[in-house]
Structure formats: C-alpha cells, structure tokens
Amino acid sequence: MPDIKVTPLGAGQDVGRSCILVSIGGKNIMLDCGMHMGYNDDRRFPDFSYVTQNSRLTEFLDCVIISHFHLDHCGALPYMSEMVGYDGPIYMTHPTKAICPILLEDFRKITVDKKGETNFFTSQMIKDCMKKVVPLNLHQTVQVDEELEIKAYYAGHVLGAAMFQIKVGSESVVYTGDYNMTPDRHLGAAWIDKCRPDLLISESTYATTIRDSKRCRERDFLKKVHETVERGGKVLIPVFALGRAQELCILLETFWERMNLKAPIYFSTGLTEKANHYYKLFITWTNQKIRKTFVQRNMFEFKHIKAFDRSYADNPGPMVVFATPGMLHAGQSLQIFKKWAGNEKNMLIMPGYCVQGTVGHKILNGQKKLEMEGRATLDVKLQVEYMSFSAHADAKGIMQLIRMAEPRNMLLVHGEAKKMEFLKDKIEQEFSISCYMPANGETTTIVTNPSVPVDISLNLLKREMALGGPLPDAKRPRTMHGTLIMKDNSLRLVSPEQALKELGLSEHQLRFTCRVQLHDPHSDTDTLGRIYTHLKSVLKSYSIQHVPDGTVIVESIVIKVTSSAEEPNLKVILLSWSYQDEELGSFLSTLLKNGLPS
Amino acid sequence: MDSDCLSLLPAVCLVLADPKQSPPDDTSLEKLLDWFKELHSQSNGQVLLQHQPCLLEFISSVCTSKTTDPAILSFTLKLTGLLAATTQGFHLFDEGGLLVYVFELEAWGVCDLWEDASVRSGWLQGLLDMLKHQQALGFICGNGLIKVILQLQNDRSLFAACLANQLLVHILNFLTSSNMTSGSDVVGSSESSLRPDWVSASSEIMNAVVEALSSEDCPQVLQGLRLLSLVLSQCGEPIISTLWKDVLVPLEVLVNRGSESLIQTLITVLEAALGTPLLSQSEYKVEELLEAMLGDGNRKECFQCAALIVKLEKCPEVLKRKATDIILLPLQCVSTQPQAEKGINVVLKEQLSQKASCISLLMQSLSSLAQLAHTKYLFEDISVHSITSSVVLLLRMCSGHCPSSLIHINTFTHLIGCCKVQRCGLDTLGALSVYEENLDLRKDIFGVLLDLLQSPDSHATVSMCIFVYCMLLILAASDFLPSKLIDLFPVLEKRMCDLRWEVRDSTLEFITQLTAALISNSGFSEALHTSGMVSVLLSSLADAEGYVRASAVAAVGEAVTASFHQTVLASNSKLLEDALVQMMAILSQDTEGFPRRAVVQAFTSWLKGSHLITALESSLSSVLSLGGSDFDWEVKMHTLELAEVLMEKTLTCCPYAVQNFGSSEVRFPQALIKFKDFGLFDLLFNSLFDCDRPVCEKACALLVKLRTLTAETADLDHCVLVLNVCGNRWGDEVQRRYLNKQQAKASVCVTNGVTGSDEGTDCDLHCSKDISLPKILQILDLDDMQRMLTLSSDHVVNSPRSLMEDILSAAQQSEENIVDCY
C-alpha cells in the first residue's frame, strides 16, 4: 500500500527548531528549516546528516517549504543551502521572502557579535540563499515538477505566514506552520478549503489552552505602560526588528491618540521604516480593518513614535522605548536597561522568548542582582513583566481547523509532549481519526488509499449503459469490464476490441483441450454419432452440429473421436474449447466421462 | 574546578531530582552535561563523585522515582555513563548496585518512560560514554544488554537507532582490542580474552547483522547494512573478515536484487570495504560485487550505481572506467545521431522518454561528469571535446533549439526551459573549462551563454551559474574577451533592468568581479566607460532593492578604481563626482544596512589604492562622521576599518600626503592635525563608548595604537593637538573618568597622609574645555578597557555558574512563561 512518511528533525514533541521531512508519492519535502537560538554551536541547526545518509541534500529533497519568517522556522535555511549545500527550490510567500532576510541578517548580526560563535552564515550566504527562493501567492497552485504541486493558504500568525497543501497524485498533506484562528490587530484568521488531506500536520503550541482573548492581554499591556508613564517612569520594551514590534507600535499609537498622551515613544533602530515599508507593500495580507482604513490613514505611519537617539535615555521624565535586541543581551536595549534598572518607577516589558544565558532570561526568572562585566553587580529594581502576544491557535482553534479541512489523519508538531497527548486523545475521540505525535527522529507512516483516476472510453460507457439499463446510479458502485491501458502516464479503460486496435495487437485464442477415454464397441463414426445424439438430448437450447469431416461442434467446443489399433473398443474423445466457453467445456468433459447411454 | 559551581551543585541536583519541578529550559540540561564532560576531561569522574556525593544521591533518586520527567531521566542516564567512564567511578557506582539499577532494562522496560525516545537515546549514550574500560564491557555483556542494544538498532527513532549502531561497533572494537591487549590491562588482564560471554557477545552481534541482511523487511536490511559499513570503516581484523565471510551470501543476493531503496547504502558498504584488506583478496569478491551493481548498463538502477561508483576514492580503475561509460550513456544518447541509435539500450530509451526520469538521469550524468572533470579523472580515450559539444547541444535544447538530426523528440520537449538541467550543464561546462581541448569551442559556448542570458525566461539561478561560468571562461582566456564585449555588455545592461532583483544583483556582482579581475585590461576599462555601462551602474544605485543597491555600490566602486588605472580622462573625474554624490546620499539616507556598509567599504578600498586620495579628501570627514553615527554596528565597524587604513596610509609611507611632510617627527603632528580635521578622533572616542562591544573593541585597539605612536614621538608638543571635550558624549565620559580617578587618588593620598599633588596641571582639567590628545589617552585607562572588552561575552553568559543560577532561579519562579517564539 502507498504511504506517507513524516519524520520531524525538529518540532517533534518540542517547540524548538521546526524541520519536518515528509515523503509522499516518492517525493521528499522539507517543511520549514528552523534554528534553535539557545545554542551557540551546531546544535542550533537540525542535523541534516540523518536526512541524506551520505548523499547530497539536493539529490534527496524535491523542495523545501518555509511557512513564515520566524527564525525557529527559517533560521537554518542559509546554513542548509549555502553551508551544507542545497540547490533545489525553496518556496515561501512573497512577504516571507521579503522579510526573512531581514530577520536572518538581524540574528546574524547579534550572533557574530558573540564570542565563541562558530560555523555561522554570512550576509552573502543569506543573499545567495534568498536567490534560490521561489515566492508564491495565496491559493496559487505551484507545480514543483510533473507530479508534485503545492498551494498556500492564509495562516494569520505573522505577516506572510501560510499553511501549505502538498499534493502528489491523489495523496495530499497539509502543513499548517504556525497559525491562529482568531483575527488580531493587524492580521486575519487562518482559513483553508475543505480539502480532505490524507494528513494534516498541525502546530500545537497551545494544545491544552483555551487562551483568554488577545484583547485582554493587550488591555493589560496598555494599562501597565500607562500607569508607569503616569507616575513618571520609563518603559523599556526589548524587541526584535520586525514582527511583534509593529503590532505593539500600532497598539500604543492608537492608545496614545485616544488618550491624548504626551509622553514620547521611541523606536531605537532605523528598521521601523523598513518594516513599515513591508507592511505597506503587503497590505493585502493584513486584516480587513487595516485594509479598509488604509485609504484614509496608513496604520503603519506613526505619529507618536519617533526615532531614538542614545542621548534620550538620560532625559528626565517618562518615556516608552522599543529597543533591539529582544533578549537584552547586547546593544542598545541592554545599554538602556543598565541605565534604568536601578529605578523602581521604571518598567521592563518582555514580549518574547529569551535564550538561557541572556540578561532577559535571567530577569524573567526573577534574578534581582546581575553580574555585569568586570564583576560589577547591577541591582534590578525596575518592574519586570512578561507578556506573550504570540498568535497561535489554541485547542479550540486547532479543532476548528480540523473541521474546516476534514483530514483523514492528524499529526501534531511544535508543542510539548504532555499537552499534545491530551489534544491527541481529544481529536481521536471527537473526529474518529488517527492522531500521531512523533518525537524528533521518529518516523510516522500513514497508509493511504489513493484513488487512481481512470478515463473511460465513451463507447465502453455506451455499451455498459445498453447492458445495464437506462442510466447508472451515481451513488451505487457498479462492476464494469474493459481493458486498462497504461500509456504516457495516463490510465484509460476501453473495450478489448478498441484496446487491440489502439495497441496494434492481434487477438490470441486460448483453447483448452481434454481427452476422455470410454469403452464403446462401435466404429469411431458411430461413437461420434452417439455423442451427437446424446448431447442433443442433454443440451437442448444449444446449437449442435455434426460436421461431415468427423467432428461435433457445440458453440466453440470441438469434439473428435479416435481409437487405437490395438484396442478398437477403447475410444479416445478429444475435446477442445475456447476459454470463453470454459464452463460448458468442463461440463461436457465430465458428461462424457460418465459414458454414453446404451 | 570552579568552587562556586561546585557549591551550587547540591542545590541544582535537588531541583532536578524534584519531580514536582518542571524541567529547566531545554538547552540547560545539555549545557550542564557539556560542563560535566569538560570537568571529566580535565580531571576524572571519581574525583567528582567522591567530592560531590550529591551526584550519586541525585542519580539514585531520579532512577527510583516513577514520576521523573523523561528529559531529566535521559540526562541522568547520560551523566551516569560519563561518571562511570573511569574504572574508579565505575566501582563507586557498582558498589551500591546503582549501575545495574540505572541501566538494567527491567527497570525501564516495564515503565512508560521507555516509550520516550529521549530516554532510549539517553540509555544508549550513557552506555557509549561508559564503555571506556573492560569492566564496562563486562557489565554490558554480563547483564544481557547486547540483546537490548540490538533491538534498539531497529528503533523507530533515527537517533536511537544510530546510537545503537555506534555502540555496537564500539563494543566490537572493544572486544577485539581487549583480546589483542590482554595482559596489558592491569584491572582486567586475567579475564580479558577468555570470557565466554564476550565471545558470545561478538557472535550475537555478527549473527544479528547476517540476520538483518537476510531479512525481507527493508528497514531492517538498511539498518544491518549501516551497521556493516560502520564495522568495515571503524573495526579492525579479525572482526572484518569474519563478519564479511558471513554476510557475503546475503550481500550478493541484495546486490543482484538491485532494489532501488538499497543502492545508496549498499554502495556505502562496498566503499567501506574498499578501504579494508578485503579488497585485495579475491575470495571476498568486493570488486565482483561492485561490478554486479553496475550490471551491463541495462538496468534502471545501474545509472545511480555508476554515479555513486565514480565518486569512490579507492575504486579499482577498471570499474571506474566502466561506471564512467555508463554515466556518459544518457548524454550520448540525447545528442546522438540517428545512425548511431542502434547501440542504445532499451532501458535507457525508456527512461529518457519520460520527463521525470529523463531529467534526473541527465542531471545525474552531468553532475557526475562535473565531478570527474574537477578531479581530472577523465580518461584519456574519452574525448573531452565531444562531451563538451554534447553539453553545449543539451543547453541549446534547453533553450528550445531543436537539432534537425535529433532522434529523441520526446527528450527535446522534456528539456525545453528545464532550469535544473541548465544549471547542471553550466556547472559541467565550468568543470570542463580546464581542459585545453575545448579552446576551439569557446565561441560556441559563449554563444550559448549569451542566448541564455538574453532570454528573459532564464531562471534567476541559471543566470547565477552563467556568470560563474563566464568568469571562468574569461579568466582562462582573457585574449578572447575584448572581441566579445560588444556582445556581452548590451546583454548585461538588459539584465540589470530585469524585473527580478536576484538577476539584477547577480549581474552587478558579475560586473564587479569582472572589473576587478580585468583592472589592467585597458580594452575592458575603455569599453566599460564608452559603452554606457557606467551610467546604468550609476542608475542602479537607486534600485528599489537594498541588496541590489549594495551590489551597485560595489560595482561603481570597482569602476571608479578601474578608471583611475587608465589615462586620466574628463569622464573619469565625472564618474567619481557622480559616484560620490550618490554614495553619500546612500550613506546618509538609505534605510538598509547593506548599501551603507558597501559605501564605507568602497571608500576603504579606494583609500587602499593610491590614486584617489586627493579626490576623496572632501568626502572623508562626512563618511567618518556618518558611518560613525550609523545605527548599524557593522557600518560603524567598517568605518573604523576605514579609519585604520587612513591612519596607516597617513602615518607610514604617507601616499596620502598632498604636501611633503618631511621627517617623521614633523610628519606625525601634521598627521594628527589632519586626523582632527577629518573628525577621526570624534569617531574613535565615540565608538569607544558605543553600546556594541565589537565597535568599542576596534576603537580601543586603534586608540592604543595611537597612544603608542604618541609615546614614541618623544618630543611631541602636547599643545599641538588639543581637543575640545565639551558638548559631546565622549568628552563627558572622559571628564567623568578623570574625576573618578582624581577622587580615588585623593582618597589614597589622605589614607597615606600625603598632601599635595605633583600633577598640579591636572587639577584644572575638569574645568577646561580643551585637553591635549596625549592627556586624554592617558586619562582613559585603555589597557583596562581592552581587558574588560575581551572578557565581556555580550551577556549571553556561557559560564556554568550562570547556568546553574538560571536553573535555580527558574525553579523558584512559580509562574510559567508561556512558550513564545522569536
């Protein structure tokens, strides 16, 4: 039986680097190629040697698909394509292709800065890798090769995020990447056709959570910022250049406008401009509200948010600063943090993930004394808040997607094992489909039952109609007979005559022969005559001929009689029939074996 | 051993062993294990275990708990293996029976935790780490663990299966070496070679390989083959020949069956066998098996085999030759003339008639040829000329030119616009370009390349390959180029206006390389300027894509350099003028880092050359000021590199000199004044207090260099160079540091009962606006700063102490930070 094989190299029962290998219909596809930011050696990348087993990646993989620009989904791409070596096609949506190099570059810059970093890609490698990327549009079916096709669907989550349907013949897999089923401030909700894939591979970050609405978290965030600013404190929000930053900027901008607040908001890098350029360029990827208001006012042109200069950090009075990098481990965000950490009036809001070892990670874990370079200690007195704004589908959303796509099997990735287990049971119960959750390195095999499309010749259909009544009932299976021709990658069912004609073949006759011995004290001619009379009496509805050349013929069956010179009474009756008359032929041989009536 | 860390270890063990605590950040356990490994390599496990009894307690408590998290358990298994890797450590574990408890399967087999792949991997890794001495081997064999390892060899987890294979090979190796060295090992000498359980262990493993190879189950066969190739490449005699004798029959069956899914692994096995003494003995049939894999070139799989065999390093010549013939078949078949058709085999024809197999076969053929050509392994009697012609013909077919005599019309339709074949074909041509036999084909090849470049349908990645090959062609025969520039430049200009940024960028990168490579070729430089190419380059500086603007900056930079290598023309200075205006605009306004970085780099490369100094003078101070205040730290770094070149050029041979400075004593103060005019000191001092460490480090290094020079110039008049420290950030910092120093000094003086100061002149320093450069360099404790900067690790603290503190503080944190992404 044909099957689909799925092996996660990353994201199998964890929320690390996503990298999932799928084999479908003889094609090998890599879904996402993410990086784990918590390591500073090769462990941050998926181990591609398990994929290839000594061969080159280009020879093994038919394509790579990247679901969105987050580094845990695309961060290992330049390493894979330029350092390990992969020259095949890489697919992603247009916004992902535009934004991906910015984030890769951003991360490269904060990584090469670190000491002891080895084996990391360069700017040139990022560019060369992006040149291999084939961008695609939503709902556009892209033919990777003759057999393999892919199609992208809107996934929400971040600008340009997509779910992908992968199809080979009648087998198909849908990979969700990260998605959310509720619209947020600037993006819409994920959507997919009722495409009934053989397998739906879904993220399950919030597998057991029914998350409070994002509105609540936003309200909380605004309240905290507002209170700090009101009491004259400063708010530091460490962010990465693109993604969460834009969302929070829109949030604050609207709030400042509504409340008529005067405290300055700064963004520390020049990247807002670049990022906003992309949000403007890909306005069709944002939600309806943003698109509608775009004509009157562009949401990404901020009135209250200004560029930051490092001298502003010492200014008295309240302010809000978005600074990079997001993990507070270097650069401007760390510099500002050091200046503001000692004042309890100030606040630090961490909206994203922090790697172990970073200042961000330490203070999120509640450390109040930090050792800076030269063993000087920094007292952390400012308030620290962690706020997750990430847009993933919760348990309800995942179930909703299953209802939408109606998959035959389900496979969970990008989540924690315990939570996945819970959701797996729920899915199996509610939808009566199998649900899998392989760990990294484990292969799940799903047996498929592909339907093979066959063209039927009109003549054959007409003939069948003539035989079986006026019109076939579409809902009832019906047996048809014909000859299947497999030619030029197509299958056609035609009548045997047409098949012979088309293929230039002549029909061969297959005949069965049989000898029956019986004792009959007559001449051969008389015995034959007696056979003729006997058959006439038994097979009344058949036409039986006694041909002068010494044979009796019933349908295609030919009967002859011979006897040996030594024993003239022992007659050998030769029967021969075509395979169409096999039943009759067998019947006659049995009949004659029983002897002739006296 | 860091005592701080060791004092934290008991608390960390308690946290990790507590089943109520969720395990720490997924990287923490791995990093902790890294630290143990390091400790272990420095001292030994016994010391650690003796001084840290908490480790034994931790291991015991984790293994007895039924509610341990799989991640913690896996970590514990690995840790146990590591600590038991010395005989003393092993005994400490063994004394209390802990080792059996940790590794015996009965403890795990019945429990759900064994279902977790990470636990099985941890178990295998633990044993692998432990297997450094004979006691460990005895433990594995004596407790029947070989059977479990063999089962895990077919584990559903790739990682576990791979580890199991490694462990089995390690065991076999260990068994052999123990036999060899019996008597030399003090601890295990008396029992080493004779232990019957060891003998049965090795035959158990070898039987398992034979069994796997004879199996009908493909994954099991694959695992068996993988283990076999590991044994062949990592084990010695007598294991290799004993095992080979046993597997030869099933191996022959597998080879003759020719199953597609096994080819790669079978070749890997045979490749490993080639590196062993098995090759030289005909009864082991290594060569025969390889030959059988090739067949007569009439099996579908033989092409893949041939492609793999030509890559083998130690393969016998005859076989390689045969494989090469098979490799060439598809290419010959496609480009063959009708009269030669008779010789072509049916399988090949059928493969070529279907699109997917046709493309993959041709790609295989082309890439193998490229590989052969790279290694110069083409045989003398194979005509490189005819192969090259065939590749050229193939590329023409890809562009839609159907040769009249072509017999395989199907193949032709499959090839039209096929970028995969185009890329491979171009790579192969590139590899073949080293052969002189192809010289007369250059014209044809160039024509094909131009055709491909001309076509707007050519894939962006194909354009990249064309440029790479064009460069090879041009470098190999620069005499050939000038006549072709007339054809090449218009096509390049067209591609610079391509809709796809990838093509525009690759074209500009190519022009940059070409200009740099042909800088001394007057014909080229002239053509560059007279063809209108320069104006297209200048207009690319305003491209919508940042990558393209950066490449345009580099291309213009090279064009300017090239122009100054030629006769001074009015157009040359016009080019520089235009370039400077646009580049300064990019540096001050561009929203992306790449173009700004490229501008500073262009200035650096101009400055390194000696022609452009005067022309750049007016722009240098702006570049240093803009680059130094850029928000991208890499732009700042490049600006500091520019400053370094400026310093070197000015202070050493001084080609920069617009006037003759005379002797070095006179020259240095003059140079300092020049630096001040350029704003070099502002750049260096501002960068010294930058928020990005690499910038500070670089600035500090340059200032140290400057300080050395200042000190060396004995009679330097301190009044020659005075800097205003007021109103800028670095000045405030200098004053602050000065005051701190003074206060510290004063308090020392008070303590020692000394009054007065011998540095009376310094007293007024904080009131003064102007301070001399040597004084500033003295105030700033540059050596200390440099030391601190070297120590700093950008706050991704990798120290084990920080790691342990993080684990402990995470345990105290009751709130779970919901998983988030970057």
CA-CA-CA-CA dihedral for A244, A250, A251, A254, to nearest 10: 170
Residue B641 has pLDDT above 70, yes or no: yes
Q: How confident is the model over B316-337, as pLDDT tens digits?
A: 888 888 898 889 888 888 877 5
pLDDT of residue B19: 84
Q: How far apart are CA B424 and CA B416, in angstroms?
A: 14
More confident residue, A302 or A547: A547
Residues 180-209 of B with CB under 8 A from A: none
With pLDDT > 90 as the criterion, what percentage of chain B qualifies? 32
- B461:A87 CB<8 A: yes
| Whether residue A151 sits in one domain with residue A283 | no
Say which residue the tokens 């407790």 belong to.
B143
3-state SS, residue A14: coil
Could you tell me which of A11, A27, A10 has the C-alpha nearest to residue A62?
A: A27
| Whether residue A239 sits in one domain with residue A275 | yes
Burial of B645 (0-12, 13-18, 19+ CB in 10 A): middle
Q: Determine the distance in angstroms separating the CA of B707 from the nearest CA of chain A, rounded to an integer.
A: 24
pLDDT of residue B278: 85
CATH number of the domain where residue A346 is located: 3.40.50.10890
Q: How far apart are CA A153 and CA A166, in angstroms?
A: 11
CA-CA-CA-CA dihedral for B259, B260, B266, B267, to nearest 10: 140
| Whether residue A303 sits in one domain with residue A201 | no
Domain count, chain A: 4
More confident residue, B769 or A440: A440
CATH number of the domain where residue A527 is located: 3.30.310.50
pLDDT of residue A139: 94
Could you tell me which of B97, B96, B2 has the C-alpha nearest to residue B48?
A: B2
Q: What is the ipTM of this complex?
A: 0.88
- A38:B27 CB<8 A: yes
Confidence of residue B434 (pLDDT cuts 50, 70, 90): confident
Average pLDDT value for residue range B430-449: 84
* Interface with B, mutate which of A73, A131, A443 (most B CBs under 10 A): A131
**What average pLDDT does chain A have?**
87
Average pLDDT value for residue range B567-590: 83
pLDDT of residue B714: 62
Which residue among the candidates A203, A218, A247, A464 is catalytic per the annotation? A203
Give chain A's largest Cα–Cα span: 134
CATH number of the domain where residue A116 is located: 3.60.15.10
Report the DSSP beta bridge partners of residue B251: none
pLDDT of residue B177: 72
Confidence of residue B822 (pLDDT cuts 50, 70, 90): very low
Other CB atoms within a 10 A radius of the CB of residue B764 amount to 8
- B26:A16 CB<8 A: yes
Residues 10-39 of B with CB under 8 A from A: 24-28, 30-31
Q: How far apart are CA A522 and CA B633, in angstroms?
A: 117
Q: How far apart are CA A312 and CA B815, in angstroms?
A: 34
Q: How confident is the model over B670-715, as pLDDT tens digits?
A: 888 888 889 999 999 999 988 888 899 999 999 999 888 888 776 6
Tell me the pairing of strands B722-724 and B770-772. Answer: antiparallel
pLDDT of residue B760: 44
Could you tell me which of A41, A35, A43, A37 has the C-alpha nearest to residue A115?
A: A41
Across A467-535, the runs of DSSP E, i.e. the strands, are 483-487, 490-494, 511-519
Average pLDDT value for residue range B119-143: 92
- B792:A36 CB<8 A: no
pLDDT of residue B536: 93
pLDDT of residue B186: 35
Q: How confident is the model over B51-83, as pLDDT tens digits?
A: 788 898 999 888 888 778 889 999 999 999 999
Give chain B's largest Cα–Cα span: 111
Average pLDDT value for residue range B120-144: 92
Q: Is B592 in the A-facing interface, judged by CB distances under 8 Å?
A: yes
- List the domain range (segments joined by +) for residue A561: 511-594
Q: How confident is the model over B357-408, as pLDDT tens digits?
A: 888 899 999 999 988 887 766 667 788 888 999 999 999 988 888 766 655 6
Residues ≥6 apart with Cβ < 8 Å to B316:
B279, B287
Q: Is A332 in the B-facing interface, judged by CB distances under 8 Å?
A: yes
Burial of B709 (0-12, 13-18, 19+ CB in 10 A): middle
| Whether residue A492 sits in one domain with residue A407 | no
Helices (H), A445-523: 458-468, 496-503
Q: What angle do CA B735, B736, B737 make, to 5 degrees?
A: 90
Confidence of residue B746 (pLDDT cuts 50, 70, 90): confident
What are the two backbone dihedrals, phi and then psi, of residue B420, each rounded to the nearest 5 degrees? Answer: -65, -45
Average pLDDT value for residue range B625-649: 92
Average pLDDT value for residue range B42-49: 69
Could you tell me which of A451, A455, A444, A491 has the C-alpha nearest to residue A171?
A: A451
Q: Is A362 in the B-facing interface, judged by CB distances under 8 Å?
A: yes
3-state SS, residue A10: strand
| Whether residue A170 sits in one domain with residue A37 | yes
| Whether residue A42 sits in one domain with residue A143 | yes
| Nearest neighbour of A147 by CB, restricted to B160, B356, B506 | B356
Residue B183 has pLDDT above 50, yes or no: no
pLDDT of residue A271: 55
- B809:A365 CB<8 A: yes
Residue A299 has pLDDT above 80, yes or no: no
| Whether residue A200 sits in one domain with residue A150 | yes
- B116:A87 CB<8 A: no
Q: Is the peptide bond before A325 cis (omega within 30 degrees of 0)?
A: yes
- Are the C-beta atoms of residues B167 and B128 closer than 8 Å to each other? yes
pLDDT of residue B570: 59
Confidence of residue B819 (pLDDT cuts 50, 70, 90): very low
pLDDT of residue B174: 86
Residues ≥6 apart with Cβ < 8 Å to A471:
A465
Other CB atoms within a 10 A radius of the CB of residue A461 amount to 15
Confidence of residue B223 (pLDDT cuts 50, 70, 90): very high
Q: Which of B292-306, B579-593, B673-687 has the lowest mean pLDDT?
A: B292-306
Q: Determine the distance in angstroms separating the CA of A318 from the nearest CA of chain B, rounded to an integer.
A: 22
| Whether residue A189 sits in one domain with residue A55 | yes
Residue A301 has pLDDT above 60, yes or no: yes
- Are the C-beta atoms of residues A101 and A131 closer than 8 Å to each other? no
More confident residue, B523 or A61: A61
A-B contacts (CB, under 8 Å)? 190
Residue B192 has pLDDT above 50, yes or no: no
- Are the C-beta atoms of residues A32 and A11 closer than 8 Å to each other? yes
- Which of A232-246, A480-494, B628-642 has the highest mean predicted lDDT (pLDDT)? B628-642
Residue B761 has pLDDT above 60, yes or no: no
Q: What angle do CA A411, A208, A154 make, to 5 degrees?
A: 55
**Number of residues written out for chain B:** 822
| Whether residue A269 sits in one domain with residue A224 | yes
Confidence of residue B659 (pLDDT cuts 50, 70, 90): very low
Encoded amino acid at B539, one letter: S
More confident residue, B295 or B492: B492
| Whether residue A230 sits in one domain with residue A184 | no
Average pLDDT value for residue range A57-74: 93
Residue B249 has pLDDT above 50, yes or no: yes
Helices (H), A434-523: 458-468, 496-503
Known catalytic residue at A203: yes
The H or E element that residue A152 is part of is: strand A148-154
Encoded amino acid at A265, one letter: I
pLDDT of residue B379: 65
Domain boundary among A463, A479, A503: A503
Q: Which two tokens stand for residue B302?
A: 């033989």
Q: How confident is the model over A466-525, as pLDDT tens digits?
A: 776 656 566 677 777 889 998 877 889 998 888 998 888 888 888 899 999 988 888 888
Residues ≥6 apart with Cβ < 8 Å to A516:
A572, A573, A575, A589, A592, A593
Residues 285-304 of A with CB under 8 A from B: none
Confidence of residue B657 (pLDDT cuts 50, 70, 90): very low
pLDDT of residue A272: 58
- Which of A116-125, B228-237, B646-655 has the highest mean predicted lDDT (pLDDT)? B228-237
- Which of B287-296, B536-545, B785-794 has the highest mean predicted lDDT (pLDDT)? B536-545
Q: How far apart are CA B429 and CA B389, in angstroms?
A: 10
Per-residue DSSP letters for A69-130?
A: S-HHHHTTHHIIIIIII--S-EEEEHHHHHHHHHHHHHHHHHHHTSTT--S---HHHHHHHH
**What average pLDDT does chain B have?**
82
Helices (H), B713-771: 729-752
pLDDT of residue A300: 67
- Are the C-beta atoms of residues B662 and B622 closer than 8 Å to each other? no
Confidence of residue A380 (pLDDT cuts 50, 70, 90): very high
Average pLDDT value for residue range B27-37: 91
Whether pTM > 0.90 for this model: the answer is: no
pLDDT of residue A298: 66
| Whether residue A59 sits in one domain with residue A173 | yes
Across A211-303, the runs of DSSP E, i.e. the strands, are 234-238, 265-267
- A489:B162 CB<8 A: no
| Whether residue A142 sits in one domain with residue A279 | no
Encoded amino acid at B563, one letter: S
pLDDT of residue B190: 41
Q: What angle do CA A381, A387, A388 make, to 5 degrees?
A: 150
- Are the C-beta atoms of residues A202 and A211 closer than 8 Å to each other? no
Confidence of residue B251 (pLDDT cuts 50, 70, 90): very high
